[in-house]
Chain A
Amino acid sequence: MALKMVKGSIDRMFDKNLQDLVRGIRNHKEDEAKYISQCIDEIKQELKQDNIAVKANAVCKLTYLQMLGYDISWAAFNIIEVMSASKFTFKRIGYLAASQCFHEGTDVIMLTTNQIRKDLSSPSQYDTGVALTGLSCFVTPDLARDLANDIMTLMSHTKPYIRKKAVLIMYKVFLKYPESLRPAFPRLKEKLEDPDPGVQSAAVNVICELARRNPKNYLSLAPLFFKLMTSSTNNWVLIKIIKLFGALTPLEPRLGKKLIEPLTNLIHSTSAMSLLYECVNTVIAVLISLSSGMPNHSASIQLCVQKLRILIEDSDQNLKYLGLLAMSKILRTHPKSVQAHKDLVLQCLDDKDESIRLRALDLLYGMVSKKNLMEIVKKLMTHVDKAEGTTYRDELLTKIIDICSQSNYQHITNFEWYISILVELTRLEGTRHGHLIAAQMLDVAIRVKAIRRFAVSQMSALLDSAHLVASSTQRSGICEVLYAAAWICGEFSEHLQEPQQTLEAMLRPKVTTLPGHIQAVYVQNVVKLYAAILQQKEQAADAQAAQEVTQLLVERLPQFVQSADLEAQERASCILQLVKHVQKLQARDVPVAEEVSALFAGELNPVAPKAQKKVPVPEGLDLDAWINEPLSDSESEDEKPKAIFHDEEPRHAKQRPPEADEQELARRREARKQEQANNPFYIKSSPSPQKRYQDAPGVDHIPVVQIDLSVPLKVPGMPMSDQYVKLEEERRHRQRLEKDKRKRKKRERERRGARRHTSLHTESDEDITPAQRVDIVTEEMPENALPSDEDDKDPNDPYRALDIDLDKPLADSEKLPVQKHRDTETSKSPERQDVTVVEKKSKKPKKKEKKQKEKEREKKKKKEAEKGVDLDFWLSTTPPAATPAPLPPGFLQEEPGVNAAVTAPKEEPRGEEQDAGEDAEQDLEKPSEQKKKKHKKDKGERSKDKKRPKKRAPPREGDAEPVQNGALREEPLPPMSSYSLLAENSYIKMTYDVQGSLQKDSQVTVSMVLENQSSSFLKNMELNVLDSLNARLARPEGSSVHDGVPVPFQLPPGISNEAQFVFTIQSIVTAQKLKGTLSFIAKNDEGSTHEKLDFKLHFTCTSYLVTTPCYSDAFAKLLESGDLSMSSVKVDGISMSFQNLLAKICFHHHFSVVERVDSCASMYSRSIQGHHVCLLVKKGEKSVSVDGKCSDSTLLSNVLEEMKETLAKC
Chain B
Amino acid sequence: MIKFFLMVNKQGQTRLSKYYEHVEINKRTLLETEVIKSCLSRSNEQCSFIEYKDFKLIYRQYAALFIVVGVNDTENEMAIYEFIHNFVEVLDDYFSRVSELDVSFFSAVNQVFHSAWQRTG
Contacts and interface: CB of A to CB of B under 8 A. Distances in A.
B107 A18 contact: yes
Given A67-B17, A69-B14, A239-B76, A353 B46 contact: yes
B46 A168 contact: no
Interface string B69-89: 000001011110110000000
B68 to A, nearest CB: 14
Contact of A353 (B45, B82, B107): B45
B16 A67 contact: yes
Given A243-B76, A274-B79, A209 B47 contact: no
Nearest to A133: B114
Interface stretch (A200-208, A532-540, A962-970): A200-208
A356 interface: yes
B106 A64 contact: yes
B114 A318 contact: no
Interface in A164-217: 164-165, 168, 171, 198, 201-202, 205-206, 209, 212
A272 B76 CA distance: 12
B45 A318 contact: no
A273 B26 CA distance: 37
A26 B13 CA distance: 11
A243 B72 CA distance: 14
Contacts of B104: 22, 26
B34 interface: no
B63 to A, nearest CB: 17
B29 interface: yes
Interface string A307-336: 000000000011111100000000000000
Interface in A329-384: 352-356, 358
Contacts of B22: 103-104
A317 B46 contact: yes
Interface string A291-319: 00000000000000000000000000111
A634 to B, nearest CB: 40
A96 B119 contact: no
Contacts of A101: 25
A137 B110 CA distance: 14
B43 interface: yes
Interface string B29-54: 10010000000001101111111000
Contacts of B77: 277, 318, 321-322
B70 to A, nearest CB: 15
Contacts of A320: 47
Contact of A355 (B16, B49, B105, B110): B49
A763 interface: no
B25 A71 contact: yes
Nearest to B110: A96
Contacts of B1: 209
Interface string B93-110: 000000000001111001
Contacts of A236: 79, 119-120
A533 B65 CA distance: 70
A68 interface: yes
Given A103-B22, A104-B22, A133-B114, A205 B119 contact: yes
B10 interface: no
A278 B78 CA distance: 9
A69 B82 contact: no
Interface in A755-811: none
Interface string A103-137: 11000000000000000000000000000010001
A355 B48 CA distance: 9
A281 B46 CA distance: 23
Interface residues of B, number: 38
Contacts of B118: 133, 164-165, 168, 202
Interface string A498-526: 00000000000000000000000000000
Nearest to B42: A353
Contact of B81 (A69, A73, A165, A318): A318
A137 B20 contact: yes
A165 B43 CA distance: 39
A355 B14 contact: no
Given A274-B76, A318-B78, A355 B119 contact: no
A352 B76 contact: no
Given A18-B105, A137-B20, A212-B74, A198 B119 contact: yes
A133 B115 CA distance: 10
B8 to A, nearest CB: 11
A67 B120 contact: no
Contact of B120 (A165, A205, A321): A205
Interface in A62-87: 64, 66-71, 73
B19 to A, nearest CB: 8
Nearest to A67: B17
A103 B25 CA distance: 11
A273 B78 contact: yes
Q: Chain B interface secondary structure, helix, strand, loop or mixed?
A: mixed
Nearest to B6: A67
B46 A354 contact: yes
B14 A67 contact: yes
A125 to B, nearest CB: 13
Contacts of A133: 114, 118
A274 B17 contact: no
A131 to B, nearest CB: 13
A233 interface: no
Contacts of B121: 168, 171, 202, 205-206, 209
A356 B28 CA distance: 28
A26 B118 CA distance: 31
Contact of A202 (B16, B32, B119): B119
Given A18-B105, A202-B119, A355 B76 contact: no
A19 interface: yes
A881 B118 CA distance: 32
A352 B107 contact: no
A1184 interface: no
A278 B106 contact: no
A22 B49 contact: no
A60 interface: yes
A304 to B, nearest CB: 16
Contact of B45 (A22, A103, A171, A352): A352
Nearest to A354: B46
Given A60-B107, A71-B25, A201-B119, A278 B79 contact: yes
A322 B119 contact: no
Contact of B25 (A60, A64, A69, A317): A69
Contacts of A104: 22
A67 to B, nearest CB: 5
A845 B73 CA distance: 51
Contacts of B51: 355, 358
B43 A352 contact: yes
A205 B1 CA distance: 10
A274 B20 contact: no
Contacts of A205: 119-121
B48 A272 contact: no
B78 A277 contact: yes
A60 B51 CA distance: 35
Q: Which 4 A-B residue pairings sit nearest by Cβ, starting from the closest?
A: A274-B78, A317-B47, A103-B22, A274-B79
Given A171-B121, A355-B47, 5 more contacts: A60-B107, A68-B14, A168-B118, A320-B47, A321-B49
26 contacts: A18-B105, A18-B107, A19-B105, A64-B106, A67-B106, A69-B26, A104-B22, A133-B118, A168-B118, A198-B119, A205-B120, A206-B121, A236-B120, A274-B76, A274-B81, A278-B79, A317-B45, A318-B47, A318-B78, A318-B81, A319-B78, A352-B45, A352-B46, A353-B45, A353-B47, A356-B46
Interface of B: 1, 13-14, 16-17, 20, 22, 25-26, 28-29, 32, 42-43, 45-51, 74, 76-79, 81-82, 104-107, 110, 114, 118-121
Interface of A: 18-19, 22, 26, 60, 64, 66-71, 73, 96, 101, 103-104, 133, 137, 164-165, 168, 171, 198, 201-202, 205-206, 209, 212, 236, 239, 243, 272-275, 277-278, 281, 317-322, 352-356, 358
